């Protein structure tokens, strides 16, 4: 595996188009009609559709993981381009919306009630460093399944509290080792590494692994905004 696949791109000016479909959606969730978490936990068994359904029920092949002795606690370099946002954990809600049957707004307490998955993987940053890290959290696929995505869903947008944004293909989102992590190396996730929730996955480069995720929007199409670094010229798929 070569760590650096491409040179730093030149800054390309793309214009500041509005991310339609993300900012306009959050209002749907704040108020009445949002079911409680307890109402939702039974919904996993209900039929979801086709392609997304197939990915949810026939998990893709896992990537080999590392032994605990391989963890490199000092090697993960904090890489934050807009500083560390301040998040009030008591008020924090993760929103899942977009082309779903059941939009969700979940507290950390509700998220931590879901099954904890732990994995030891390599984090690879295009700036030329890598680190073997243990991440603990919930599988993203479990939360997405609760939201019951519509059959045309092909992408997920991730919005972060620092203004960072990312988009992923749905197969990578639903990969069994794509986590929303709240633990790092067996400890609560430090805020500089993305607490309360960050993406962690062995199949994507570092810049795809959004920290401080506040909103996940499922959609059938990408907009002109594809990701913080992608919109400056970096590769979108960014698989490892
Ligand atoms: N919200 C947000 N997420 C982010 C970033 C960021 O600046 N803001 N940097 C990305 C990059 S380039 C990398 S390599 C990893 C670094 O994660 P770490 O700071 O926990 O080491 O976070 C990624 N996710
Ligand atoms: Mo990175």
pLDDT per residue as tens digits for the range 73-112:
999 999 999 999 999 999 999 999 999 999 999 999 999 9
pLDDT for position 28? 35
Task: Give, to the nearest 10 degrees, the angle between helix 140-147 and helix 50-57.
Answer: 140
118 C-alpha to ligand 2 centroid (Å): 22
**pLDDT-derived band of residue 51, with 50, 70 and 90 as boundaries?**
confident
**Ion ligand 2 contact residues with beta carbon within 5 A:** 79, 125, 206-207
123 C-alpha to ligand 2 centroid (Å): 9
Find tokens 């390599």 and name the residue: 122
188, pLDDT greater than 90: yes
Which atom of ligand 1 lies at the shortest distance from residue 85's CA?
A: 1
**pLDDT-derived band of residue 10, with 50, 70 and 90 as boundaries?**
very low
pLDDT for position 236? 96
Among the four given CATH numbers 3.40.50.720, 3.40.50.150, 3.90.420.10, 3.30.9.10, the one describing domain 36-78+87-232: 3.90.420.10
In this structure, the dihedral spanned by the alpha carbons of residues 113, 115, 116 and 118, taken in order and rounded to 10 degrees, is -170
- The answer, yes or no, to whether any atom of ligand 1 lies below 6 A from the CB of 211, is yes
Q: What DSSP designation does 226 have?
A: -
Please, what's the b/e burial string for 99-123 (b: 16 or more CB within 10 A of its CB; e: otherwise)? bbebbbbbbbebbeebeebebbbbb
Mean pLDDT across the chain, nearest whole number? Answer: 84
Q: How far apart are CA 162 and CA 179, in angstroms?
A: 20
**pLDDT-derived band of residue 9, with 50, 70 and 90 as boundaries?**
very low
pLDDT for position 59? 80
Whole-angstrom CA distances from 182 to 94, 102, 169, 196 are 13, 24, 22, 6
229 C-alpha to ligand 2 centroid (Å): 9
199: three-class secondary structure by DSSP: strand
- Give mean pLDDT, residues 193-198: 98
pLDDT for position 36? 54
Q: How far apart are CA 205 and CA 7, in angstroms?
A: 14
Please name the residue whose Cα sits nearest to atom 11 of ligand 1.
207
Per-residue pLDDT tens digits for 140-181:
999 999 999 999 999 999 999 999 999 999 999 999 999 999
99: three-class secondary structure by DSSP: coil
């Amino acid at each position: 595996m070569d760590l650096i696949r491409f040179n730093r791109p030149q800054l390309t000016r793309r214009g500041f188009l509005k991310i339609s479909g993300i900012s306009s959606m959050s209002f749907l969730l704040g108020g009445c009609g949002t079911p409680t978490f307890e109402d939702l936990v039974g919904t996993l068994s209900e039929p979801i559709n086709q392609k997304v359904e197939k990915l949810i029920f026939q998990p893709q092949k896992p990537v080999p993981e590392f032994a605990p002795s391989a963890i490199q606690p000092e090697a993960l370099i904090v890489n934050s381009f807009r500083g560390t946002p301040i998040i009030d954990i008591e008020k924090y809600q993760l929103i899942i919306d977009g082309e779903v049957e059941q939009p969700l707004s979940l507290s950390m307490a509700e998220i931590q009630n879901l099954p904890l998955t732990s994995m030891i993987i390599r984090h690879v940053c295009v700036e030329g460093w890598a680190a073997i890290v243990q991440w603990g959290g919930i599988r993203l696929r479990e939360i997405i399944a609760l939201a019951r995505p519509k059959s045309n869903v092909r992408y997920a947008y991730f919005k972060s509290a620092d203004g960072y944004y990312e988009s992923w293909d749905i197969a990578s989102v639903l990969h069994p080792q794509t986590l929303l992590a709240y633990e790092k190396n067996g400890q609560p996730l430090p805020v500089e590494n993305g607490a309360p929730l960050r993406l962690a996955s062995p199949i994507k480069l570092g810049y795809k692994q959004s920290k401080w995720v506040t909103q996940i929007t499922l959609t059938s199409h990408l907009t002109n905004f594809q990701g913080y670094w992608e919109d400056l010229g970096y590769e979108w798929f960014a698989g490892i």
